[in-house]
Amino acid sequence: MLKLSPDIKIMFSAAEKAASRSLLRDFGEVEQLQVSRKGPADFVSAADKRAEEILHEELSKARPEYGFIMEESGSIKGKKDAPIFVIDPLDGTTNFLHGIPHWCISIAIVENGKSKAGIVYNPISNELFFAEFGKGAFIGNKRLLVSGRNKLNTAVISGGSPVGSTPDSKEYRNQIKILQEQEVTFRCSGSAALDLCYVAAGRVDGYWGANISIWDVAAGILIVQEAKGSLTSLNPNNKDLLTSGNLLASNIHLHKNLQVLLGNVQ
């Protein structure tokens, strides 16, 4: 692996500890709980919180002045004008709950409203995606670069799964239908953070997600940017990538077409 910067080392070390002390052990127990309807969900919620506590403890030791935004515990203020750790201790909880080995830990350092460093760590595959602003994106020793595909009918696009029958979920289903009409291959992996990393790695050609939170994407956005990808908010009322909640990421060749298709759904 490349020599890691202090920021990346700190985040990776915390992620490894959260994985080894909590998540990997708990993931090994999930299959034994599948006979219960209530038990697994409660178990995974507890695992989520334990992992977050470890991440907070380890990162606080390394950067005591920093603030935090965390999925489970909310916001913790740091010193004035200090950067903020944005943490998702377990992105892909449904996968985790069902024993599907596709989930990750996502950590970003956000300063002045922009991600300046981030990691996404999949403990099952032992893959570490990471990036720092202006320094490129990597997996291990390999520099990441988005795909070069330029035709929708040869592209693989990943996205979230619409839930329920809300207006947002109806729109999302319409978006999937529009993509399928263009002969796009669609995948739903269950982890926004890993989807963004897969865009950066050229494994998929694009990703879009609705109703996503800052901790889902704070690291992944930077990783895509540093891999020469394109990102756009599809939220007409909020164009900030971190907080828009409706994000499109892809290679530069497909981005405009996808933006038109997905941004004009009625």
Least confident of 30-44, 159-173, 240-254: 30-44
Collect all residues with Cβ–Cβ distance below 8 Å to 108 and sequence separation of at least 6: 85, 86, 115, 117, 118, 119, 218, 219, 222
Kindly tell me if the per-residue pLDDT of 2 is higher than 90. Answer: no
Collect all residues with Cβ–Cβ distance below 8 Å to 149 and sequence separation of at least 6: 155, 205, 251, 253, 254
Domains of the chain plus CATH, in order, are 6-143 (3.30.540.10), 152-263 (3.40.190.80)
Average the pLDDT over 222-246 and give the result. Answer: 94
Q: What is the DSSP letter of 148?
A: -
Q: According to the model, what pLDDT value does residue 8 have? A: 97
How would residue 10 be classed by pLDDT, with cut points 50, 70 and 90? very high
Q: What is the pTM of this model?
A: 0.92
The angle at the Cα of 151, spanning 145 to 153, to the nearest 5 degrees, equals 115
Give the max Cα distance, the chain.
Answer: 51
Average the pLDDT over 152-177 and give the result. Answer: 77
**pLDDT exceeding 70 applies to what percent of the chain?**
90
Kindly tell me if the per-residue pLDDT of 253 is higher than 60. Answer: yes
Average the pLDDT over 129-134 and give the result. Answer: 97
- The residue among 239, 145, 150, 158 whose CA lies nearest residue 193 is 158
Kindly tell me if the per-residue pLDDT of 37 is higher than 50. Answer: no
* Backbone CA torsion sign across 95, 210, 108, 50: negative
| Distance (Å, whole) CA 229 – CA 244 | 18
- For 222, the token pair is 């930077």
Mean pLDDT score of the chain, rounded to an integer? 89
Kindly tell me if the per-residue pLDDT of 35 is higher than 50. Answer: no
Left (φ > 0), alpha (ψ -120 to 50) or beta: where does 16 sit? alpha
Q: How many CA atoms lie within 13 A of 94 on its CB side?
A: 8
How would residue 154 be classed by pLDDT, with cut points 50, 70 and 90? very high
How far are the Cα atoms of 28, 39, 89, 110 from residue 107, in angstroms, in the given order? Answer: 23, 28, 8, 10
